[in-house]
Amino acid sequence: MTAQAPVIERTTRPADASTSDPLSGTWTLTRLALRVDRIRLPAWVIAVGGSTVLLASSYQTLYPTPQARQARAALIESPAATALAGPGYSLSDYTLGAMVANEIAGMTMIAVAIMSVLLVTLHLRTEEETGRAEMLRSGIVGRFAPITSGLIVVLLANLLIGLMLGVGLTAVGLPALGSWNLAASVFMVGLAFGATSALFSQVTEHARTASGFGLAAVAIAYLLRAIGDVRAKEDGSIWSWLSPIGWGQATRAYVDERWWPLLLGSAAVIVGVVLAYAVVGRRDVGAGLVAPRGGRPRASAALSGIAALTLRMQRNQIAAWGIGMVALALPIGALGQEVAEFVNQDPRLAGLLPGGESNAAQGAFALYLVFLAIMACMYAMTAIQSARNEETSGRAEDVLASPVSRWRWLGAQLVVISVATSLIVLVAGTAMGVTAAATLHDGAVFGRLVGAAANLLPATLTVIALTAATYAWFPRILAVVWVYLGYALVIGMFLEVLPDWTGWASPFHFTPNFPADEFDIVPVIVLLVVAAALYALALIGFRRRDIQS
């Protein structure tokens, strides 16, 4: 009798939800992203929204009378101020609301644009580059779930900032309609650059390239707005209308609120999101729409070492940040003569600047150099975050398995980041010095401003070292440093009107206000020692903890 083989019943595998429902798992991924961003998201919201409301509130103290505000309007009317801040609406009747819209809103829009680019890149391209997205896609996760969850997170971040602006600006006494108009403009700009970054994240397969493209788009938008506003004030030229930042400022908050420019931003958001979704369906997970260029069979000698590799990886970001800082520094330097005349019209304002009335222009330069140095620190923080991404992706572990020590791996990267940040600050000081010397007709100003930029390097290195130490010892709370950077910015710009004790935690508080005040070598040496100690602490901490991959 022949044994009959058992009949194995074939079961049909359930259809994968990722193929039947492209949005399956969206809310799960969104909750996961919000949990991952439980520190980063509040840090951005507080740093951007809170600092804007605080600055708006301080204007009421700084410019309490119509005469003081009109003197300020004369300063803002100059082409350099227009390029730096915005078109300058209602300068003939310069209210506190108009001051906020003209002088603060533009920088807030740039901040939310940078935030949106970094968040979108983190949740879209970084997740794919590290392989986590592919692992999630092996479960019941639809094709469009990752991009949808990432865009939802950015939407929530911009919404929270918009709500904080609308409520906060109204609470400090500004008209409610103008406050919500400005909040809606900031919200629109953030979403526009978030959609743009979502598209860039589909085009390239590397997070650093996607973020570089996104930040370059922010810089181009700023330059287009600056060129357009200088060519045609208030109404703006065609160049202004090519920029999302120009659309945001065209709402004319606190003047005669216009809502229709928000439709341009809404259309840009829709186009960017639709294109991003279309590209998602045309590429493989982990790949970009544009394939990376093939490298040489053998690496050149210039790439031998961690430092050389870091420089190669960071070169586009270094160039983008450097160009952006020069674009900011050039018009600031051109404002020297206007600042001096502004303070002469209202000597009471001399108390707000280091150096007093006799040195008003130098005092303004000292404050703006602090602003530019803190902006350069933002590059350093994103670069250290890139090192964190290398670790969590597992690539750092592969490198450390070779004859490369932890000290060498982190130390070489910190050297490149520190040198690059220092060069960015010096280049900004040089650019400011060129235009300041030309407008003030004083060639000695150039050397003083370059020296003033060098004077800020110890404080800048201290911030970088603190960020590195936080990454080495407490990598999960690295985003908290963004809040600290916002605090340092407020202290650096407004300590003259704040209690002196509020600045004890900022290294820029202890830096001499050169060129407005005399140079003092002692605090510079102390800050260098503190920075060296923090760098050493970072290397020790990274050597002691486990690698997180």
At 505, list the tokens.
């935690």
For residue 484, the model assigns a pLDDT of: 87
pLDDT string in tens for the chain (549-residue length): 444 544 444 444 444 444 567 888 888 889 988 988 888 888 889 888 988 898 888 888 778 888 878 877 877 776 767 777 778 888 888 888 988 998 889 889 999 999 999 899 988 887 777 677 667 766 777 788 888 999 999 999 999 999 999 999 999 999 999 999 999 999 999 999 999 999 998 888 777 788 888 888 888 888 888 888 877 766 667 888 999 999 999 999 998 889 999 999 999 999 999 999 988 877 767 666 676 666 676 766 666 788 888 888 888 888 888 888 888 888 888 777 666 666 566 555 555 555 555 566 677 788 888 889 998 998 999 899 888 888 887 788 888 888 888 899 999 999 999 999 999 999 999 999 998 888 888 888 899 899 999 999 999 999 999 999 999 999 888 888 888 888 888 777 666 656 677 778 889 888 887 777 778 889 899 999 999 999 999 999 998 888 876
Burial class from Cβ neighbours inside 10 Å (0-12, 13-18, 19+) for residue 12 reads: exposed
**Are residues 511 and 523 in contact, defined by beta-carbon separation less than 8 angstroms?**
yes
| Letter string b/e over residues 157-192, b meaning 16 or more CB atoms within 10 A of that residue's CB | bbebbbebbbebbbebebbeebbbbbbbbbbbbbbb
Nearby residues of 518 by Cβ (< 8 Å), 6 or more positions away: 512
Instruction: List Cα–Cα distances, 37 to 127, 204, 258, 385, 542, in angstroms.
Output: 13, 24, 34, 14, 23
Q: Give the CA angle between residues 226, 228, 234 to the nearest 5°.
A: 95
Q: What is the pTM of this model?
A: 0.77
Q: Tell me how far apart the alpha carbons of residues 425 and 438 are, in angstroms, rounded to a whole number.
A: 20
Coil vs helix vs strand at 517: coil
**Are residues 185 and 109 in contact, defined by beta-carbon separation less than 8 angstroms?**
yes
Nearby residues of 150 by Cβ (< 8 Å), 6 or more positions away: 33, 119, 120, 123, 124, 198
Peptide bond into 515 cis (omega under 30): yes
**Are residues 17 and 24 in contact, defined by beta-carbon separation less than 8 angstroms?**
yes
**Are residues 477 and 43 in contact, defined by beta-carbon separation less than 8 angstroms?**
no
Q: How many helices (H) and strands (E) does the chain have?
A: 24, 0
Give me the residue spans of the domains in the chain.
26-61+105-281, 304-544
At 150, list the tokens.
């990432």
Specify the amino acid at residue 392.
T
Q: Within its chain, how far is the Cα of 263 from the centroid? A: 25
Nearby residues of 237 by Cβ (< 8 Å), 6 or more positions away: 227, 228, 229, 231
Q: Is the dihedral of CA 398, 403, 405, 409 positive or negative?
A: negative
